Structure 1
Amino acid sequence: EEERKAIEERIRVAEAEKAEADAAIAKAQKELAEANLAKAKAEAAKAEAEARKAIAEADKAEGKITDAPTEPVEPTEPGTDPVEPTNPEENTEEVNGNV
């Protein structure tokens, strides 16, 4: 009888340990899935930025102007010009497609 109770107790302990291990595995799998999702989102954002840049470069080569920035635009103070060309003649030629 005592031997049977001891065996049953060891079984209960082993089952509890297994449940804890299963929970730890599930948590680790969830964290891995979240990390993979974050990595995929970062890669998608990078690919999108590269595609926008390539489109802008192609449009520039064709003499077109795109309204989509290739890089993040920093906010400016109200009433200030966010772009100050260093040489207005070069800027005019570039805008007109006469590069």
Structure 2
Amino acid sequence: MYEFKYHRPGTVRQAANLLVKNEDAKVIAGGHTLIPVMKQRLASPPHLVDLSHIEGLDTIEMKGRSLVIGATARHAEVATSAIVGEAIPALANLAGGIGDP
């Protein structure tokens, strides 16, 4: 992998500021796609902004008639969520088949 600077903001505002200051930055929440590509030296972003520790981005909820799934909600959480299962059963089923144990 190439050298990069790792940023771990605590708020959405901090993440947005980092992205404005570093236009070549890449956002990660789990890294399941970007990290292997970086290991193979197919991508070399100078900055990584990790969203996984920002409180509230992992929520799953209904807002009116809309199902809202936060950016850092895990596939397993989507797959087992009663809210998702009721609103969009096919999505819950699909999410259960994504990922690597």
**Coarse TM-score class (shorter-chain normalised):** under 0.3
Larger radius of gyration: 1
* TM-score normalised over the length of structure 2: 0.22
Q: Which structure shows the bigger proportion of residues in helix conformation?
A: 1
* TM-score normalised over the length of structure 1: 0.22
Q: Which structure shows the bigger proportion of residues in strand conformation?
A: 2
Larger RCO (alpha carbons 8 Å, 6+ apart): 2
